[in-house]
Amino acid sequence: MTASTQAPAEVVTPLDLGEGSNDLFPKSFAPVDDTIIWIKNIDWKLQGERCKGGLNNVGLVLAVIGEKIHDAGVFLAKI
């Protein structure tokens, strides 16, 4: 029985070929790219108008609550 000594096949990586480590990974990551595109496609003028409308509604609610608290205070002052 003769034993043959063969070296295992060596795997060549991109780094062995002189390429940089950044070449090992794709240039972009799909979920991040999709999110960036989604944010860029938002109609910011419309969103600003919607925010102003929401703040207006919050202001109205606060005014009504303030008026009711005042009315309750006036009622308690008369007792």
Q: Where are the domains of the chain?
A: 43-79
pLDDT at 65: 98
8 or 48: which leads in pLDDT: 48
Q: 10 Å Cβ neighbour count for 18?
A: 6
The band of 32, judged by pLDDT with boundaries at 50, 70 and 90, is: confident
The answer on pLDDT for 18 being more than 70 is no
d(CA 28, CA 35): 12
Pair 21, 15: CB distance under 8 Å: yes
> Is the pLDDT at 58 greater than 70, yes or no?
yes
Q: From residue 56, how far is each of 53, 61, 79 by CA, in Å?
A: 5, 9, 35
Band of the pLDDT at 1, cuts 50, 70, 90?
low
Q: How is residue 41 annotated by DSSP?
A: T
